[in-house]
């Protein structure tokens, strides 16, 4: 009688001979980079005007909150790296994406400059830093000979977020200026 893990390994190896699973991982990592869009600068820039109006904050206050939050998030990334080394990329990716979803929901509840700063920090740490770290590690673990090529394909998810951000910026600008007509 074979154990379930032995059967799983046999099936996995048979499939791997026909299709390199790393390409699936690469697609997932590209989608991960795309899903990390809420932590990207170009995504925030679209909402500076509406955030300022809703919270009664100046562009300088928003930019200061964003800059300090980005610095704080960057200083926390070595901790995420240690967690990835300790618990693995797959586990930490699940945790990061769940926390990123929660951070996106809580960001909408920002009521002032402090809560906005904390929201920016959470989105920058999780969306920009941790997602990129986990996805790059995931791809690097699956590719050795074609690692550079694979990572460059993964980053196409970032380009897709940029394109979507531009479309969103135009839509928001049009909505804001519809009242001017």
Does residue 69 sit within a domain?
yes
- Structural contact between residues 55 and 111, judged by C-beta atoms closer than 8 angstroms: yes
pLDDT, tens digit, 9 for 90 and up, residues 128-144 = 899 999 999 999 998 98
Domain that holds residue 84: 24-174
Distance between CA atoms of 93 and 35, rounded to whole angstroms?
Answer: 12
Distance between CA atoms of 123 and 103, rounded to whole angstroms?
Answer: 6
pLDDT, tens digit, 9 for 90 and up, residues 32-88 = 888 887 777 777 777 888 889 999 999 999 999 999 999 999 999 999 999 999 999
pTM of the complete model: 0.76
- 13 vs 140 pLDDT, higher one: 140
Residue 115 has pLDDT above 80, yes or no: yes
Written in H, E and C, the secondary structure of 85-147 is: HHHCHHHHHHHHHHHHHHHHHHHCCCCCHHHHHHHHHHHHHHHHHHHHHHHHHHHHHHCCCCH
Does residue 181 sit within a domain?
no
- 177 vs 147 pLDDT, higher one: 147
What mean pLDDT do residues 18-24 have? 81
**Coil, helix or strand for 178?**
coil
Does residue 8 sit within a domain?
no
Residue 103 has pLDDT above 80, yes or no: yes
Q: What pLDDT does 77 receive?
A: 95
Does residue 16 sit within a domain?
no
Q: What are phi and psi of 40, to 5 degrees?
A: -90, 145
Total domain count, the chain: 1
């Amino acid at each position: 009688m074979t154990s379930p893990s032995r059967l799983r390994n046999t099936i996995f190896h048979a499939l791997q001979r026909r299709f390199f699973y790393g390409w699936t991982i690469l697609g997932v990592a590209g989608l991960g980079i795309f899903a990390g869009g809420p932590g990207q600068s170009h995504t925030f820039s679209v909402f500076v005007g509406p955030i300022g109006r809703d919270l009664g904050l100046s562009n300088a206050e928003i930019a200061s909150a964003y800059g300090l939050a980005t610095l704080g998030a960057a200083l926390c990334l070595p901790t995420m790296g240690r967690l990835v080394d300790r618990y693995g990329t797959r586990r930490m990716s699940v945790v990061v994406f769940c926390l990123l979803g929660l951070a996106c929901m809580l960001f909408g509840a920002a009521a002032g400059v402090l809560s906005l700063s904390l929201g920016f920090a959470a989105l920058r740490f999780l969306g920009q830093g941790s997602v990129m770290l986990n996805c790059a590690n995931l791809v690097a673990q699956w590719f050795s000979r074609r690692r550079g090529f694979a990572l460059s394909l993964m980053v196409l998810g970032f380009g897709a977020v940029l394109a979507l951000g531009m479309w969103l910026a135009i839509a928001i600008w049009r909505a804001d200026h519809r009242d001017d007509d």
